[in-house]
Structure 1
């Protein structure tokens, strides 16, 4: 194999590959990226046996072939090469080494046989559809903060991606919860998605997917089966196993009878919560919200370090209410708001609180209160 690739193009492909690779693994080949050159394209394939990413790029291919090399080492070398450099990768197949040359720099890296590289089996996908990158980005970005990190409840360690019924008809929906907060985000149902089986997309896959969704103009082809999900652009294909488990009935925890309504400027609210939480060394310190007519007082009481209080003007016309929340959860939910105003709907100090963005009901957040 003998190929020449511009440094920026190579860096983009190798960085996508090396982020999938697990740093600590007992199978040496899984630390490698499979490089395959044919025609005028080179593909870079990496896997951790649960996720596989394939990135295809155009290159000058003088001699077709394939080899595998350590993904992290190759990424570090390419990252440190000067901008605009032309990188030559040469593998003669006999020496067990890959030569990396750029300008006056020359590296020789150990390789492993391409035959040992595990390629993820293709699946029979029951649903195939395409959606604009911004639509998918919104679904996953706005829900992923609520993914649970508790390994024992493994079925909460991802985003539940499914078709659901809403007041406006069927929608494409992403839901995540960790038992303390919940995010439910809807988008219009694309053609072909009607047969989508409900799947739980793992946390790591959601993180890797973000790189595919950065181009606002991109149309993403999505294929889903009971065991796998695939996202593809013409250049990159990300295939992942889904979590084998049943997502709980989340609709039961979304309150429907919350009538006490507070409307507040989302940015001002987030900044005020952040400021009053500064006096507490504990990340989970409760912030107390005292609501009176058109007035909100945020306060934190940390006996060992001090206390803080801040007043905000809000739109609130119900009876007086005192309720406490984990400061971190409030900040994460407030940071999801793209519109100017956040609307909070309360019931009592012991019941879950609902939050929406302005008049938009396509994104709904639930947060459990704390005793203060």
Structure 2
């Protein structure tokens, strides 16, 4: 193999694919990136056996071929080369190393045969549709923070994507929950998505998709089967296994009859919670919300260091209520709200609370209270 291309083009592609590769691998070939050149293109591929990313970049191919080299090593080398450099990749005559040349720099990386590189066989995708990168990012950004990190409940370790029937037509919905909070966001269902199986996209895959969506106006092709999802944007193709599990019936935890309504300025609320929670400990992040007509008092008490209170003027006309929440969870949700006014709906101090943008129906958040 002998191929020459722009350093910036190679670096951009390596940035996309090398992130999939785990730093520590018991299987040596999984530490490598596959390089295959032919027909004026260099194709790069990396995998961890659950997730695979492939990118194609234009290149001057003098001798087609394929090999694999350590992914993080070649990424670091190309990253440190001078901007604007032409990079030449050539396999040695004894087929033991890949020689990398740029200006006066030369590196020789140990290779492993491309025949050892695993292929994440995709199979048939029954549902194919397109969305803009902006819509996908919105669904991910609105729900990603609520993904569970508890490995025992593996079916909560991702975002649940499915279609539902709504009053205004079919909706494409994303849901994530960790048992303490739930995030739901939706958009009108794109053509081709109706009837798709509900799928759970793993946390790592969600993070990689997010990083690949660089142009908000780009059209993104999504293909879904029972076991895999494939995302294509530009020259990048991401294929991932789905979580093999059943997502819980989340509709049962979304409160329908919370009759105590609080409306508060989103930024004022977020900043006040952030200020009073400064005094909280790592173990106890509880903040108490004491509500009375037109008034909200936030209180944090830390037996080891002291206490903090802050009062806000709010729109609240129901009976007085005291309820506690994890301050970190409140801040996570407040960061996702889009409008200037946040709406909270309460039932009682022990029941889940519903949080939404004022008047918005396309995203909602449910937060379980804490004892304070």
TM-score range, shorter chain: over 0.9
Q: In the alignment, which residue of structure 2 is the partner of 1:61?
A: 61
Say whether the 8 Å CA contact 1:264–1:343 is kept in structure 2: yes
Q: In the alignment, which residue of structure 2 is the partner of 1:152?
A: 152
* C-alpha RMSD of the superposition: 1.1
Task: Measure, in 2, the Cα distance between the counterparts of 1:7 and 1:31.
Answer: 22
Deviation per residue, 1:296-318 (Å, 9 max, x gap): 11110001111001111221111
Q: In the alignment, which residue of structure 2 is the partner of 1:187?
A: 187
* TM-score when normalising by structure 1: 0.98
Say whether the 8 Å CA contact 2:155–2:244 is kept in structure 1: yes
Aligned residues: 372
Q: Are residues 262 and 219 of structure 1, via their aligned partners in 2, closer, same or farther at CA, if it must alter by over 3 Å?
A: same
* TM-score when normalising by structure 2: 0.98
Task: Measure, in 1, the Cα distance between the counterparts of 2:241 and 2:93.
Answer: 33
Q: In the alignment, which residue of structure 1 is the partner of 2:134?
A: 134
Deviation per residue, 1:193-248 (Å, 9 max, x gap): 11311100000000000122221121000000000000002300000000000000
Say whether the 8 Å CA contact 1:2–1:62 is kept in structure 2: yes
Task: Measure, in 2, the Cα distance between the counterparts of 1:248 and 1:178.
Answer: 11
Q: Are residues 12 and 284 of structure 1, via their aligned partners in 2, closer, same or farther at CA, if it must alter by over 3 Å?
A: farther
Say whether the 8 Å CA contact 1:184–1:364 is kept in structure 2: yes
Deviates more, 1:90-99 or 1:177-186: 90-99
Q: Are residues 314 and 283 of structure 1, via their aligned partners in 2, closer, same or farther at CA, if it must alter by over 3 Å?
A: farther
Q: In the alignment, which residue of structure 2 is the partner of 1:207?
A: 207
Task: Measure, in 2, the Cα distance between the counterparts of 1:92 and 1:119.
Answer: 25
Say whether the 8 Å CA contact 1:126–1:195 is kept in structure 2: no
Q: In the alignment, which residue of structure 2 is the partner of 1:298?
A: 298
Task: Measure, in 1, the Cα distance between the counterparts of 2:217 and 2:42.
Answer: 24
2:139 aligned counterpart, secondary structure: helix
Q: In the alignment, which residue of structure 1 is the partner of 2:325?
A: 325
Task: Measure, in 2, the Cα distance between the counterparts of 1:93 and 1:284.
Answer: 63
1:139 aligned counterpart, secondary structure: helix
* Structure 2: runs of 5+ lacking an equivalent: none
Task: Measure, in 1, the Cα distance between the counterparts of 2:158 and 2:20.
Answer: 16
Runs of 4+ in 1 over 4 A off after TM superposition: none
Q: In the alignment, which residue of structure 2 is the partner of 1:167?
A: 167
Task: Measure, in 2, the Cα distance between the counterparts of 1:185 and 1:347.
Answer: 23
Q: In the alignment, which residue of structure 2 is the partner of 1:252?
A: 252
Deviation per residue, 1:148-184 (Å, 9 max, x gap): 0111100000000111122322200000001000001
1:361 aligned counterpart, secondary structure: coil
Map 1:70-109 to 2 at 5 A.
70-92=70-92, 94-109=94-109
Structure 1 position 61, deviation (Å) = 1.5
Task: Measure, in 1, the Cα distance between the counterparts of 2:140 and 2:295.
Answer: 34
Task: Measure, in 2, the Cα distance between the counterparts of 1:274 and 1:53.
Answer: 38
1:55 aligned counterpart, secondary structure: strand
Task: Measure, in 1, the Cα distance between the counterparts of 2:234 and 2:288.
Answer: 50
Deviation per residue, 1:281-308 (Å, 9 max, x gap): 2254100001111211111000111100
2:159 aligned counterpart, secondary structure: strand
